[in-house]
Amino acid sequence: MLTEVVLPGQVEPEGLELRTRPLPEPGPGQALVAVEASGVSFAEQQMRRGKYYDQPPFPFVPGYDLVGTVVSTGPGVDQALRGRRFAALTKIGGWASHTLVDAGDLVAVPEGVDAAEAETVVVNGITAWQMLHRVAKVRPGMTVLVHGANGGVGTTLVQLARHSGIKVIGTASPRHHDAVHALGATPLDYRDPDLPARVRALAPGGVDAVFDHIGGDGIVDSFRLLARGGTLVSYGTAATRDVPGSSRAPVLKLLARLALWNLLPNGRRAHFFNLWAGRRRLAAFQGRIRADLGQVLELMAKGEFTALVAARIPLSDAAKAMRLAESGTVAGKVVLVADEDTRRSGEEDAR
């Protein structure tokens, strides 16, 4: 049997349901993975409110990404994958003791890298790496502004930027400033009414890139803080997370605003980062994921990247994990880890 966390509808975290069902058999091209760790990201916070842009209908199993061990494989999949640890980007389904994954989506985790630590950089590492190097194309010596520098994507962005010789200004609440500074960024209070002036004092000519997950009206300041030739990378609408109404309206409004700014003759660019863009060309998409996540995992394996695990909470206590992730009181990522007895039972059934 497998155990999974089900999101039955728009509920409070305590409304999450724990269910069991028989282990599925992997089909052609699939692998059955015993999940060791799955993260609690902003996407799940939006999903439980019905606010994620393209979430499936309720009920469903959340879990945007995972790290686990392959226990069985379907037709056409190399049996040598069994017993090896992999990471995977899933969008849904990760909050379970076991789940089926397309073998092409598996990314090898280097030996010696802890499962929960590796989990912190699956969706966060891919997002940060691609925004930094594929979208903004920031070069050594440049200066960037990272909003939410204490969060999962934020801490990853700061470290990857610093590793590439890029100066980082990071916004966070004051209680997280020491942690942001320890990562190599200059911290600023995101609630400071003079925040734009504080950024200008550190980067008089403007910053070369802004990474903004907040959206809302504050996105205007993010664009204005760019130097000529700079890039705004928007990758979320956190400002409207708790606003009732359509999940699509805030995104469509943001896209329209970014498109308008790109018409201005000031040399600045504005992009909305969509992690899933290009998946219609599946082989190329999977190749980029393997390459980019592979780079981040190698940095972790070499000790050049610090994984910030805010908490490790058993899968069976997913409500507690969701509450903690939504509290805004932690730095890094909240990770759901396998309940040992549940995972052991599933592995015995698989054998």
Placement of tokens 């890029």 in the chain:
166
- pLDDT for position 179: 94
Is pLDDT above 70 for 342? no
Give the mean pLDDT of 142-157: 95
Is pLDDT above 60 for 347? no
Q: Which domains does the chain show, CATH number per domain?
A: 2-114+307-349 (3.90.180.10), 125-272 (3.40.50.720)
Is pLDDT above 50 for 118? yes
Is pLDDT above 90 for 247? no
Is pLDDT above 90 for 256? yes
**Confidence grade of residue 146 (pLDDT, cut at 50, 70, 90):** very high
Give the mean pLDDT of 304-327: 95
The model's pLDDT over 71-88, given as tens digits with 9 standing for 90+, comes to: 999 999 999 999 999 999
**Confidence grade of residue 331 (pLDDT, cut at 50, 70, 90):** confident
- pLDDT for position 238: 83
Give the mean pLDDT of 222-240: 93
